[in-house]
Structure 1
Amino acid sequence: MNDTKRTHTMIGHNRYPHMFSPLDLGFTKLKNRVLMGSMHTGLEETENGIERLATFYAERARGGVGMIITGGFSPNDEGGIGSKLSTPEEAAEHRKITQVVHETDPEVKICLQILHMGPLAKDESCVAPSPVKPRIGRFTPQELSEEGIEKQISDYANCAAMAKLAGYDGVEIIGSAGYLISTFLVQRTNQRTDRWGGSWENRMRFPVEVVRRVREAVGKEFILAFRVPAMDMLEDGLAWEEVVSLAQALEAEGVNVISSHFCWHESPVPTIATMVPRAAFTQVTGRLRKLLKVPVITSNRINMPQVVEEVLARGDADIVSMARPMLADPELVLKAEQGREDEINTCIACNQACLDHVTGGGKQVSCLVNPRACNETLLNYRPAKEQKKIAVVGAGPAGLAYSTVAAQRGHKVTLFDSGSEIGGQFNLAKQVPGKEEFHETLRYFGKMIELRGIDLRLNTTVDAEMLRSMDFDEVVVASGITPRTPDIDGIDHPKAVSYIDVILRRKPIGKSVAIVGAGGIGFDVAELITHAGKSASLDIDIFAREWGIDFKNHPRGGVTGVPRSVETADRIVYLMQRKTGSVGKTLGRTTGWAHRATLNARGVQMVNGVEYVQIDDAGLHTRVHGVPKLFDVETIIICAGQSPLRTLYDELQTAGIKTSVVGGAYEAAELDAKRAIDQASRMAAEV
């Protein structure tokens, strides 16, 4: 090890001694306590997907993790995932993954997750212990016969044997979240009266038998992890005593590692959205850890190395799983080891390009803050053949992404913005309670500007003549958007204010408010003006109280079943939209429901089918589903969409200056940082 690397390593190991301590599993050892958790990426079912997955995982192995769990692979056809591992031929394909990971870093362990979706499978042939249709499932599952249960158990064991044949270091069996195994455990989904149902001993027979048979199939020197539903967030879910007895029974059957999971896909509690505090659930893992002999993994909203260290130092876990953070920055662990934490591209738990993609029609997963995620073979930032002098106008998400990628490739970039700080619309988002993580993205981009030698010029308004005089090879306009002013009689009335003035607290608002527009911005504004007290995303106790979680007593499922207790500002709020569909329907698939639930708990009245007629001293005159209605409110907040701010682009085009446009200035139908960063990064990769 050279002196520089030794110094960097000492910095990280001194700062995070628990995180970088090895873990002895007896027959093998993990080099540190950071696990890249399982994520289904969509590559599993893509042409050349195995090759792309190999590159994806190798990049994370190179980035310093101790162990990797793959996305889920089904043990059989009825498991419901397009990706399956059940034959030697399929195992041979998987060797492409294990071989490149082990070549990249022989110390990194990689395990295959065995995932049987059970009643959540998207096919009529889906199976379960009882024919109970999930609320979010497409079909009523077929009830497994005794022979069918035996087949499923055998298929789990065979899948594990094929994983060993493929060169994996182990497997993780997921027994939570509403998938097959967990439906045997919970009474509402297991209504059997034979030896597989009824008493708790019978209901946990299936996972225990699966583990016993898997261990027989793979032998002793093969990592066997099991993900237990430590707190499933269901009112009639598992009792704490059941969780403990299940984990201890699995331990007795030869599980090497227990992973704690905090999710049932039908649970009315958010567990991974940005509104969830960091490390909110690790205390549950810590309580379980005290009752087991094998190491325990914890997870959920752990996105920075200092959080990892705190969790481990408290004794809440032996290993910390970081899934989405490894999409955002594959070098997270390496940067922590080298004392470069301020260079980490932090996961903001937005779910927009990861979970929303994989659950919304099978789109390929990526990452809002890192569009290279899952595109490692397609999108690379190679050194430019010809270095150019480039002006980027606008330091919002698109401008920041373009500037940093172009500069990384060797171009000389000058970044202009008329504001006093970088960030653009992110500076609005970070003001909203529950979106504090946006500060991390701006910290990251600020550091990249410094490291890549970008000439940042804030408080600077440019025009075509100025840019021409500076002799740039190219100009990129990332000037963003301007709020759209709807055609409503009286829109200039003092009662009408822009959402920007509200979020930045430049104008006061009254005790009764109508919000015109119920897109993402309208919901953010409603959250901001109805919020009172400390943000729940910054306080686990407040979060637990707001969502009815009882960490102390751990009733069935961990939830109290009583109405939510939400501190609310003293304000009457109407959230309105023209469309006649459900308010909030266009929000993120995996987070929108939680935002709607929060505003409902705060008493926000959601109104659809609204035609806006006039604003005057009396308030907002409308027709709701054709019926005239006056909303007697003091303030009307306009969140009626955006228009591209392209004045400079048009001016440059007229002047004959080579220019391109990106981000909101290109398209502003709805603020979309995911699209803006992706588009800008791809453009900068080609310039």
Structure 2
Amino acid sequence: MAPHPHPHFPHLFAPLDLGFTQLKNRILMGSMHTGLEELGPEGFERMAAYYAERARGGVGMIITGGTAPNRASELAATPHGPFDSEAQVPWHRQVTDAVHGAAPACHICLQILHAGPLARSEDPLAPSAIASPINPRVPREMTEEDIEETLAAFARCATLAKAAGYDGVEIIGSAGYLLSTFLLEKTNQRQDRWGGSYENRMRFPLAVVKRVREAVGEDFIVIYRIAAMEMMEDGSSWEEVVQLGRAVEGAGATIMSTHFVWHQAQVPTISTRVPRAAFASVTGRLRQELSIPLITSNRINMPEVAERVLADGLADITSMGRPMLADPAFARKADEGRVDEINTCIACNQACLDHAFRGKIVSCLVNPRACHETELNYTPAATPRRIAVVGAGPAGLACAVTAAQRGHAVTLFEASGEIGGHFNLALRIPGKEEFAETIRYYGRMIERYGVDLRLHTPVVPEQLQEGWDEVVVATGVRARTPAIPGIDHPMVMGYREAIMGSREPGRAVAIIGAGGIGFDVAELVSHAGPSAALDIDVFAREWGIDFAGHPRGGVAGVVPQVQRADREVFLLQRKPTKVGRGLAPTTGWTHKIALKRRGVHMLAGCEYLGIDDAGLTIRRDDQVQLLPVDTIILCAGQESTRELYDALSEAREGVHLIGGAELAMEIDAKRAIDQGCRLAAAF
């Protein structure tokens, strides 16, 4: 008798028969490098806990972060080296045993990643001696001996993975790593059997798949990650993608995984400004050409999104990497119909991909436990305490909910009429609508764990001097007002007024301060029309993507079309450095490109001389200049709101200061939530 379909998500929780094995559902934790891989034995112990928690959370399959098959392939040289010897098998066995022990039906696959021209090794290899724009080191053109050694390294790594208890491997053939550079003429200028025609250029990726399949036998999952749309004008044509996909299937791949970018491409694919499931249609087209199951990915962050993708026939498996950082119990909550309890990935990248690009241990802004499971745990409190938390911004919410989850009696005071703090501003910025999900999550957790929430309740020190075991002050920040002559002119407004819409900017706007909030305000006041983050067609037009026609790389010959507000905008900063230099590495460039396309003037090295009816007078490069604006928006930093803490800490014990109230530089939700969670874990 066939099993009854799942009551909530029938496609998402349908098993997938692979012939020699079965996936219990269509939820894949996609590959994400954690930084733990480079730590050796300690890192593998931590990875075991990290992956096991996701396995217990109900995912059907996990793909690890990228693992180098030999020394030349490493993204970063490490003392522990690549996975190329039996000596490392016990380290990996810790991970696979932990996953299978936590959930015997969960499969785990090792991603084999040869970085090629992106490698930071002493001897990076590539099909041709052409440097990547994001790696200054020029790679060495591979000889026949190099190619043979590399094929052997892939096979050896896959064999070791099988010995270590992995259920399969993923071969990454995209993103500008080695295999993908063989495929494109721009990076493969060889004239031998490995270059020239497309049939020759795809010879090496096919040889890798064949060698791996021969090495591991038939009862082992082999996933190939194909560059389905590189987002570069000199990328692959649709016909080439199909040709490669069919050939890889014939070479022995069990599953095809679609990837949608090279690292140097100038199109966002992973940030919060990208619509949910924006690229799934590309996978759907390729799925019609192949007979093996296909994985789709990118900005699938809630179960209803994944269910729709599967129901529409766009994929067989949905990959969700960052969502599993945000909530390891994602799948179990979806299975049990508790979607409102999912801690949703908001695609901010601040603690995950930004950390990875900076060589730091990966974590998650909304879940600081990610990759820290062996050190940060929320165990039941031995002695429940009465805790007052003042301020329901990210820091206060994290602390209050985590403390209540542990069994403490928590009262959360908030002077305004809503929780969320500065997240209520962020969600109003086009491209940051996902921030509403975090507020929704905390609202549900307040209900679930019985936090006594008191809105519209300003607090004075006398209320908290007695009756509480601990007092947490998370009163956040207030905007800083710079000392500029004429700063009290009627044309001047604060960023909160601009974002909340209590005052309408005029036709010529100067934004003082080009940090994160300055860029957000510039995005808001220069924007017109629907948010691209909520509309795939608008997103495609703004970034010059043709999903339907699929020209080379998805973008060849397509001109970005940006709708802009009918106003002139100046984004100004005091520092002489390039505007936007301090923005995050994985998302900052998208903000700068978007503002440039809307005609925003970005001026560095500004000295603010005065404000009057004529506008804002500045000095740049020793030249005095009048900007004839009718609106000036202040985004000139913040100051901690800590008066309550100062008064209480003199009057009583057990007073704690967290979040922006403790340190007000850039508004830093990552730090605030981490502080709140760690403090609550210590009570």
TM-score by shorter chain over 0.5: yes
Cα distance in 2 for partners of 1:281, 1:155 equals 32
How many equivalent residue pairs? 676
After superposition, the C-alpha distances for 1:617-653 in whole angstroms (9 at most, x for unaligned) are 1111110122111111000100000000011111212
User: Is 2:543 the counterpart of 1:550?
Assistant: no
Cα distance in 2 for partners of 1:124, 1:155 equals 18
Cα distance in 2 for partners of 1:572, 1:301 equals 32
Instruction: Give the match for residue 395 of structure 1.
Output: 392
Tell me which amino acid in the other structure corresponds to 1:478: A
Instruction: Give the match for residue 329 of structure 1.
Output: 327
Instruction: Give the match for residue 60 of structure 2.
Output: 66
Alignment of 1:239-638 (within 5 A): 239-360=237-358, 362-468=359-465, 471-638=467-634
After superposition, the C-alpha distances for 1:252-299 in whole angstroms (9 at most, x for unaligned) are 111100000001001110001000000000000000001111000000
CA contact (8 A) 1:123 1:139 kept: no
Cα distance in 2 for partners of 1:657, 1:504 equals 38
CA contact (8 A) 2:110 2:168 kept: yes
Instruction: Give the match for residue 96 of structure 1.
Output: 94
Tell me which amino acid in the other structure corresponds to 2:622: G
User: Is 2:664 the counterpart of 1:668?
Assistant: yes
Counterpart among 216, 222, 234 of residue 220 in structure 2: 222
1:657 CA displacement? 5.0
Cα distance in 2 for partners of 1:331, 1:128 equals 40
Instruction: Give the match for residue 76 of structure 1.
Output: 70
Comparing 326-335 with 484-493, greater Cα deviation is found at 484-493
Tell me which amino acid in the other structure corresponds to 2:668: D
Name the SS for the 2:674 alignment partner.
Answer: helix
CA contact (8 A) 2:465 2:652 kept: no
Instruction: Give the match for residue 681 of structure 2.
Output: 685
Cα distance in 2 for partners of 1:100, 1:268 equals 39
1:507 CA displacement? 1.3
CA contact (8 A) 1:120 1:138 kept: no
Instruction: Give the match for residue 171 of structure 2.
Output: 173
Tell me which amino acid in the other structure corresponds to 1:500: R
Aligned-pair Cα RMSD in Å:
1.1
Alignment of 1:173-192 (within 5 A): 173-192=171-190
Cα distance in 1 for partners of 2:465, 2:34 equals 45
Name the SS for the 1:228 alignment partner.
Answer: strand
Q: Report sequence identity in percent.
A: 61
Instruction: Give the match for residue 26 of structure 1.
Output: 19
Instruction: Give the match for residue 207 of structure 1.
Output: 205
CA contact (8 A) 1:71 1:113 kept: yes
CA contact (8 A) 1:122 1:138 kept: no
After superposition, the C-alpha distances for 1:480-521 in whole angstroms (9 at most, x for unaligned) are 000001111111111111001100111121100000000000
Instruction: Give the match for residue 47 of structure 2.
Output: 53
CA contact (8 A) 2:232 2:556 kept: no
After superposition, the C-alpha distances for 1:436-477 in whole angstroms (9 at most, x for unaligned) are 1011100000000000000000000110112235x1111110
- Could you state the TM-score of these two structures normalised by the residue count of structure 1? 0.97
Cα distance in 2 for partners of 1:446, 1:235 equals 45
After superposition, the C-alpha distances for 1:279-320 in whole angstroms (9 at most, x for unaligned) are 000000000001111000000000000001000000000000
Instruction: Give the match for residue 4 of structure 1.
Output: none
Cα distance in 2 for partners of 1:115, 1:100 equals 23
Name the SS for the 2:545 alignment partner.
Answer: coil
CA contact (8 A) 1:39 1:70 kept: yes
1:80 CA displacement? 1.5
Name the SS for the 1:13 alignment partner.
Answer: coil
Cα distance in 2 for partners of 1:129, 1:468 equals 70
Cα distance in 2 for partners of 1:562, 1:29 equals 42
1:563 CA displacement? 3.4
- Could you state the TM-score of these two structures normalised by the residue count of structure 2? 0.98
1:384 CA displacement? 1.4
Cα distance in 2 for partners of 1:560, 1:158 equals 38
CA contact (8 A) 2:545 2:558 kept: no
Q: Which runs of 5+ in 2 are unaligned?
A: none
Cα distance in 1 for partners of 2:654, 2:292 equals 63
Tell me which amino acid in the other structure corresponds to 2:423: F
Cα distance in 1 for partners of 2:211, 2:15 equals 29
Tell me which amino acid in the other structure corresponds to 2:510: A
Tell me which amino acid in the other structure corresponds to 1:46: L
CA contact (8 A) 1:124 1:141 kept: no
Tell me which amino acid in the other structure corresponds to 1:64: G
